[in-house]
Chain A
Amino acid sequence: MTRRDILKLSAAAAAVAPTLSFAASESGKRKTADIDRSSKQRVIVCGGGFGGLTTAKYIKEFYPEAEVMLIEKNSHFTSCPYSNLWLGGIEGTSLQELSYSYLQAANNFGYRFVNETVTAIDKKAQTVTTDGQTYAYDRLVLAGGIEYDYDKLFADKEIAKECYMHYPPAMKPGSEHLSLKNKVENFSGGNFIVTVPAGGYRCPPAPYERACMIANYFKKNGIKGKVLLLDPREKPGAKPEGFLYVFKHLYADYIEYMPMSEIKDIDAANKRLTIERFNKETYLYETRELPMDEGNIIPPMKAAKLVELAGIKRTPHGWAQLEKLGFASVSDPRVYVVGDSGGHPFPKSGHMANSCGYIAAKHIAYAMQGKAVDKRADMPSNICYSMVGENPLEGISVHHEVEVKGGTYSVSAQSTKRPDANTGESIKPWFDAIMNDLFGPAKNS
Chain B
Amino acid sequence: MKTVIAIIFCLALGAYAQDRLGSHSKGLTYYKYIIKPELGIPGDVFTKKYTTQEWQALFDDGAKGFKKQFSNVSPKLDAFLASDKFKQIAPDLRAFTIFYAQDSGYLAPCDTKERF
Q: Which residues of A approach B to under 8 Å, CB–CB?
A: 151-156, 159, 198-200, 204, 232-234, 237-240, 260, 262, 264-265, 276, 278, 280, 283-285, 315-317, 321, 343, 345, 347-348, 398, 412-413, 415
Please tell me if the beta carbons of B115 and A315 are within 8 angstroms of each other in the complex: no
Cα–Cα, bound, A1→B87 (Å): 60
Secondary structure of the A contact surface, majority rule? loop
> Could you say which residues of chain A place their CB within 8 Å of the CB of B113?
412-413
Please tell me if the beta carbons of B116 and A237 are within 8 angstroms of each other in the complex: yes
Closest-by-CB residue of B relative to A149 is: B17
Contact of A315 among B32, B85, B105 (CB under 8 A): B105
The 3 A-B residue pairs whose C-beta atoms are closest, nearest first, are: A232-B25, A198-B25, A347-B116
Please tell me if the beta carbons of B109 and A198 are within 8 angstroms of each other in the complex: no
B57 within 8 A of A: no
Interface centre among B15, B98, B101 (most CB of A within 10 A): B15
Please tell me if the beta carbons of B17 and A154 are within 8 angstroms of each other in the complex: yes
Q: Which residues of B approach A to under 8 Å, CB–CB?
A: 12, 14-20, 23-26, 29-30, 32-34, 52, 85, 98-99, 101, 103-107, 109, 113-116
> Could you say which residues of chain A place their CB within 8 Å of the CB of B105?
315-317, 321, 343, 345
Please tell me if the beta carbons of B14 and A155 are within 8 angstroms of each other in the complex: yes
Please tell me if the beta carbons of B18 and A152 are within 8 angstroms of each other in the complex: yes
Q: Report the minimum CB–CB distance from B41 to chain A (whole Å).
A: 18
Known: A260-B29, A315-B104. A413 touches B114 (CB 8 A): yes
> Beyond A155-B17, A283-B30: 6 further Cβ-contacts under 8 Å?
A154-B17, A159-B15, A199-B24, A264-B19, A316-B104, A321-B105
Cα–Cα, bound, A156→B101 (Å): 28
Known: A155-B16, A200-B106. A262 touches B23 (CB 8 A): yes
Q: Report the minimum CB–CB distance from A332 to chain B (whole Å).
A: 19
Please tell me if the beta carbons of B14 and A283 are within 8 angstroms of each other in the complex: no
> Could you say which residues of chain B place their CB within 8 Å of the CB of A415?
114
Contact of A154 among B15, B34, B85, B106 (CB under 8 A): B15
Cα–Cα, bound, A262→B34 (Å): 19
> Could you say which residues of chain A place their CB within 8 Å of the CB of B109?
233, 237
Cα–Cα, bound, A204→B114 (Å): 11
24 CB contacts below 8 A, A to B, read: A156-B14, A156-B16, A198-B24, A198-B25, A200-B116, A232-B23, A233-B109, A237-B109, A239-B114, A264-B16, A283-B30, A283-B33, A285-B29, A316-B52, A316-B98, A317-B99, A317-B105, A345-B106, A345-B107, A347-B116, A398-B114, A413-B113, A413-B115, A415-B114
> Could you say which residues of chain A place their CB within 8 Å of the CB of B85?
284
> Could you say which residues of chain B place their CB within 8 Å of the CB of A200?
106, 116
Cα–Cα, bound, A225→B28 (Å): 32
Closest-by-CB residue of A relative to B105 is: A315
Please tell me if the beta carbons of B116 and A238 are within 8 angstroms of each other in the complex: yes
> Could you say which residues of chain A place their CB within 8 Å of the CB of B99?
199, 316-317
Please tell me if the beta carbons of A238 and B15 are within 8 angstroms of each other in the complex: no
